[in-house]
Amino acid sequence: MQDFKTATSRRDLIRGGAMLASGAMLMRPTTVLAADSNMAAIRKAAEAGRDASLKRIRDWIALPSIAAENRSMKEGAEYMAELARDAGFQHVEIVPTDGHPGVFATLDAGAKRTLGIYFMYDVKQYDPAEWSSPPLESRMVDKPGLGKAIVGRGAVNQKGPEATFLAALHAIRAAGRKLPVNIVLICEGEEEIGSPHFKQVATKPNVLAALRKCEGIFIPASWQDGQGNVQVNLGSKGIIELELVASGEKWGKGPKGDIHSSLKAMVDSPSWRLVQALQTLVTPDGNTPAIEGWFENVRPLTEREKALIGEIAKSADEAQQKKLLGVTHWIDGLPYDKALERLAQEPTVNIEGLVAGYTGPGGKTVLPGKAVAKLDLRLVPNQTRAEAERKLRAHLDKHGFADVEVNVSGGYDPTEVSEDSRLIKTMLATYAHAGVKATLNPRIAGSWPGATFTAPPVSIPAGHFGMGHGSGAHAPDEYYLIESSNPKVAGLVEATMGYADFLYQLAAIK
């Protein structure tokens, strides 16, 4: 494992030009962009910056800022700030919060329009034993049917795509071109724990004033699938991350600590107490929330949203999707289009993990004094985090589980954005310019703190944008494509050029 502290100089680590050339071309960009002197010069600069740009990604991956473990968070914020300065942002500040700090930066190009960019500098935890190569070394590996990719924690979620956006800024500057829009950059280090303090960053007076000038904001993402297609998402589900804790101490029954399991005949079990509480949260099949009032504010899908989902179902490869997920059928045996509707429409109660007593090799005959369930609750419009937390607590109390603790670690409301917004129109125009097939998607089932931007007091459109490909977020062998063998899938230079083109498209679009 590479120790970040062995680096001789943080600035030396992040100096460099734009992204590594992949050698693969998208369907049209070479001929289209060659006709534009700005883009031709920027592409040349991007290709010239290959080695330094690749090093920038690898060195960032080598610094594993992990909020859940309070690991390298101060260093992560400082490194993020240095990346921003190196990319040309004139004002950069580290923003303290009640948790881990955020970073705020502005790049004033004297342009008429301003774009917001959201970064996260934290990553998920990892177990090196589960990886085929050390997760901080970012080794280059062959991916059959795709090309060469970097494997490392944070490669696709989210450091690879974010570094690719920075590469576009480096390339524009190296080409001697002026940015067509101003940029407001806002970063956090707690996305992977539910962004519990991010609103403190976004609503700091100078940050809020800058964000409200933006046409919209997006998080860079490697959004192409293995065939080169993308989805333009018009929203995402909200989330609450929490744990439920049943303990003998709070319950007043059962042991306060672990005792011998033979005593179960006369001592209550906090573990079974937790299981019984969990069973009340969902229907017997585990598929539908049963918390009182959970659906009273849920907005049904519109006919337009159902039509968009129907188009996605027609063009998607259902068999391949099942293979990737390791499943053989969808809930209730639903056909694919109805399963996709359910994916967008339904709130969920999911058990991430259950922990009690001994879980190592062999047996250890104990009756645990405490049991913990890690949950995530996905929310849809028009649910809110505050409403959901109240209803969960009231439900447990009503069913006789007032002793079961609800410890919320983070979360946020659902995000929605209009397809008529300038942000979405620019995404579609940029994908079209690159010859990338783009499909409108009403809502992704995943979550990000976009509601921080779409809701008051910021109130601007928010979404995801980016070419390129990667996979394995939160999992072993997470990867980000570097050299694409598929002419329809962007490698790093093509993805870099996608971000550069977005800036010009936003400046020009009506």
Residue 272, pLDDT above cutoff 70 = yes
Residue 7, pLDDT above cutoff 60 = no
Q: pLDDT tens across 159-193, in order?
A: 999 999 999 999 999 999 999 999 999 999 999 99
What 3-state DSSP class applies to 289? Answer: strand
Half-sphere exposure of 188 (CA within 13 A, CB side): 24
Predicted pLDDT at 10: 35
The secondary structure element, H or E, covering residue 73 is helix 73-86
Helices (H), ranges, 317-421? 318-325, 336-345, 385-398
Residue 5 pLDDT level (bands cut at 50, 70, 90): very low
| CB atoms inside a 10 Å sphere around CB 131 | 20
**Greater model confidence, 294 or 325:** 294
Q: Please state, in angstroms and rounded to a whole number, the distance separating the CA atoms of residues 313 and 315.
A: 6
Residue 18, pLDDT above cutoff 60 = no
What is the domain partition of the chain in residue ranges?
A: 28-228+419-436+444-508, 238-298+347-412
- Third-level CATH fold of 238-298+347-412: Alpha-Beta Plaits (3.30.70)
CATH code, 28-228+419-436+444-508 = 3.40.630.10
Q: Strands 217-220 and 462-465, how do they pair? A: parallel
C-beta separation of 501 from 433 below 8 A? yes
Predicted pLDDT at 59: 97
Predicted pLDDT at 372: 98
Q: pLDDT tens across 405-451, in order?
A: 999 999 999 999 999 999 999 999 999 999 999 999 999 999 999 99
Q: pLDDT tens across 339-379, in order?
A: 999 999 999 999 999 999 999 999 999 999 999 999 999 99
Predicted pLDDT at 34: 36
**Predicted structure pTM score:** 0.88
Residue 128 pLDDT level (bands cut at 50, 70, 90): very high
Residue 19, pLDDT above cutoff 50 = no
The pLDDT of 468-491, averaged and rounded, is 95
Residue 1, pLDDT above cutoff 80 = no
Quick one: tokens of 491? 């490698």
Q: Specify whether the backbone of 195 is left (phi greater than 0), alpha (psi in -120 to 50) or beta.
A: left
Residue 4, pLDDT above cutoff 60 = no
Residue 29, pLDDT above cutoff 60 = no
Residue 324 pLDDT level (bands cut at 50, 70, 90): confident
Q: pLDDT tens across 194-212, in order?
A: 999 999 999 999 999 999 9
Mean pLDDT of the chain: 92
Predicted pLDDT at 315: 86
Predicted pLDDT at 58: 96
C-beta separation of 500 from 168 below 8 A? yes
Residue 218, pLDDT above cutoff 80 = yes
Predicted pLDDT at 26: 40
Residue 16, pLDDT above cutoff 70 = no
Going from the C-alpha of 61 to that of each of 13, 414, 439, 469, the distances in angstroms are: 11, 29, 31, 17
